Structure 1
Amino acid sequence: MLVPFLIMLREGIEAALIVGIVASYLQTGRGAWMPAVWVGIFLAIALSLFVGAGLQLVSAEFPQKAQEFFEAIVGVIAAVVLLSMVFWMRKAARSIKSELHASIDNALAHSSGQTTALIAMVFFAVAREGLESVFFLLAIFQQSTSNDASLGALLGILVSIVIGYGIYAGGIRLNLRRFFYWTGIFIIIVAAGILSGSLRHFHEAGVWNSFQTVLFDFSGVLPVASPLGTLLSGIFGYQDAPTLGEAIVYIGFLLISLFFFLRPASAPAPSASPKFSR
């Protein structure tokens, strides 16, 4: 429950940040264009729900080995998407406001097609967050047998909406740079667990059979099905009997990703956190 809550909280705040910047900019004499913003948001949400439901329905029809292969592919995509999200926000946080303002100006600069251009701009910005969420939630739901993951994701979305509106309205001061930094580290750890789990699904699908030596077996001491094992599995990708291949993928992905994420940025970051302007 904790993992989907924190991931969806971050995704929701990213989306709220984008929408808030757009809405704030349009309030400076362009408030009549706000309906186009809402159309773009709703279309992006509809696309995300459609893609998620479609993938879930299609996967339910697969035979066992195909199901395992599908889950492995979804896990790989989810890990890549989560990692790209972390590095994209690390880079874009410094200039996202000016870039969105420039995109709005370009969309409204033409004498015709302004509404369509603004809808498309908002749609693609929000759909990115929505589709990222879809692949992450698919990977998590396939590994979870309870409804806690769904509840955690829903709570994360609801809390992010409240926080996003509070930031936009000026009632909540959140250090976004620090928030995205620490959640970025957390997401990299989660992505490492998802990726190592994908290797296990590839093995069960009959696609990968190398490095299957079991490193240790804690199933009698700390089984993954126990409450603590479930918590460690959700956060760190813990397995009570990991194979050599899973350990290599997990540690390798974690070390390489954290190295590039934690190293100093090439350009100095501004001292203040990104804020909405009214």
Structure 2
Amino acid sequence: MLVPFLIMLREGIEAALIVGIIASYLKQTGRGQWMPAVWVGVFLAAALALLVGGGLELVSAEFPQKQQELFEGVVGLLAVGILSSMVFWMRKVARSIKHSLHVSLDQALTGSRHQVTALIAMVFFAVAREGLETVFFLLAVFQQSEGPAAPLGALLGLALAIIVGFLIYTGSLRLNLSAFLRWTGLFILVVAAGILANSVQALHEAGVWNHLQTVLFDFSATLPMDGPLGSVLAGMFGYQDAPTVSTLGAYLTYLLVALVMFFLPAPVAASAQTPSSVSSQ
């Protein structure tokens, strides 16, 4: 429950922040009449995310067991790639995202003859990226979790993100975006390592990957995955009570490389700003 909650909270706040920056800039520049086009773009982006997520879930439900394992492995690998790129991309552009959105807005409203269409497309692509990132991650988590806890966590995270986004827009809340992205990004990388290990296991069960299957140790008697603590660790960090060379190797290799890259100095994006906190006002 905690993993989908935090991911949905992070992605939701990022999306809300984007919309808030756009809305605030339109208001400050006397172009508030364009807000309906902004909401159309947001609605289309949300609809696309729901359509993709729902479609993939319905299609996978019809697969035979081995094909379901293959689907789970492929979705997990995609989620790891998307999550990793999202963490490092946002780490790079966090300080300049406000300026970049302002420039994109000005280009959409002054550099195009079809201003409404250009604005809708600009908002759509900005928000759809966050939505599709979330879809692939949640698909990977839901496939590796049982019961209603994961969907409930995602809904609670989305609800809180909407509240936080509204408070940021109204100026009632100032968010230290740098610290928020740093700590949630670190958590995401640890979660992604677990998803990668589970994806390798799913590919093995699908008959695609059959190398390095020696079991390194077996904690199933003392800390089983279906026990209270084991299920929590499995849901949060991809814990396996009898890991193989391939699953544990994938976990540790990814985590080592990702953490080294994460703690290196972040590259500075062009036109970077340096605020320690973010408000859309």
Please state which band the TM-score falls in when normalised by the shorter chain. Answer: over 0.9
- Alpha-carbon displacement from aligned partner over 1:133-182 (angstroms, at most 9, x marks no partner): 11011101101111000000000000011011111111112211001000
* Correspondence 1:267-278 to 2 at 5 A: 267=268, 272-278=275-281
Q: Distance between the aligned counterparts of 2:112 and 2:5, measured in 1?
A: 44
Counterpart contact for 1:93–1:274, Cα < 8 Å: no
Which residue number in structure 1 is paired with residue 210 of structure 2?
209
- Alpha-carbon displacement from aligned partner over 1:84-114 (angstroms, at most 9, x marks no partner): 1101110110110111000000000146200
1:9 pairs with 2:9? yes
Counterpart contact for 2:7–2:157, Cα < 8 Å: yes
Counterpart contact for 1:15–1:129, Cα < 8 Å: yes
Q: Distance between the aligned counterparts of 1:120 and 1:239, measured in 2?
A: 43
Counterpart contact for 1:43–1:123, Cα < 8 Å: yes
* Correspondence 1:64-213 to 2 at 5 A: 64-110=65-111, 112-213=113-214
Change (3 A) 1:103 1:111: closer
Counterpart contact for 2:24–2:280, Cα < 8 Å: yes
Counterpart contact for 1:68–1:202, Cα < 8 Å: yes
Q: Distance between the aligned counterparts of 1:274 and 1:117, measured in 2?
A: 30
Q: Secondary structure at the match of 2:242?
A: coil
Query: What TM-score comes out, normalization by structure 1 length?
Result: 0.97
Change (3 A) 1:47 1:267: closer
- Alpha-carbon displacement from aligned partner over 1:67-94 (angstroms, at most 9, x marks no partner): 1101100000011111111011101101
Q: Distance between the aligned counterparts of 2:131 and 2:268, measured in 1?
A: 29
Query: What TM-score comes out, normalization by structure 2 length?
Result: 0.96
- Alpha-carbon displacement from aligned partner over 1:45-72 (angstroms, at most 9, x marks no partner): 0001000111011111111111110110
- Alpha-carbon displacement from aligned partner over 1:107-131 (angstroms, at most 9, x marks no partner): 0014620000000000001100111
1:237 pairs with 2:250? no
Q: Distance between the aligned counterparts of 1:277 and 1:230, measured in 2?
A: 40
Q: Distance between the aligned counterparts of 1:75 and 1:90, measured in 2?
A: 22
Counterpart contact for 1:196–1:250, Cα < 8 Å: yes
- Alpha-carbon displacement from aligned partner over 1:2-48 (angstroms, at most 9, x marks no partner): 00000100000110111111000000200000000000000000001
Fraction of identical pairs, as percent = 65
Q: Secondary structure at the match of 1:238?
A: coil
Q: Distance between the aligned counterparts of 1:205 and 1:191, measured in 2?
A: 21
Change (3 A) 1:271 1:122: closer
Q: Which residue type is aligned with residue 273 of structure 1?
A: S
**Matched positions, count:** 278
Counterpart contact for 1:24–1:276, Cα < 8 Å: no
Using the TM superposition, give the Cα deviation of residue 264 of structure 1 relative to its aligned residue in structure 2, in angstroms. Answer: 1.1
User: Which consecutive segments of 4 or more residues in structure 1 shift more than 6 A?
Assistant: none
Q: Which residue type is aligned with residue 240 of structure 1?
A: D
Q: Secondary structure at the match of 1:182?
A: helix
Q: Which residue type is aligned with residue 203 of structure 2?
A: F
Structure 1: tracts of 5 or more residues without a match: none
Change (3 A) 1:133 1:267: closer
Q: Which residue type is aligned with residue 41 of structure 1?
A: V
Change (3 A) 1:92 1:164: same
1:19 pairs with 2:19? yes
Counterpart contact for 2:174–2:279, Cα < 8 Å: no
- Alpha-carbon displacement from aligned partner over 1:217-236 (angstroms, at most 9, x marks no partner): 11110111111111111222
Q: Which residue type is aligned with residue 245 of structure 1?
A: S
Using the TM superposition, give the Cα deviation of residue 277 of structure 1 relative to its aligned residue in structure 2, in angstroms. Answer: 4.2
Counterpart contact for 1:210–1:245, Cα < 8 Å: yes
Q: Secondary structure at the match of 1:130?
A: helix
Counterpart contact for 2:20–2:169, Cα < 8 Å: yes
Change (3 A) 1:135 1:111: closer
Structure 2: tracts of 5 or more residues without a match: none
Which residue number in structure 2 is paired with residue 35 of structure 1?
36
Using the TM superposition, give the Cα deviation of residue 271 of structure 1 relative to its aligned residue in structure 2, in angstroms. Answer: 5.1
Q: Which residue type is aligned with residue 9 of structure 1?
A: L
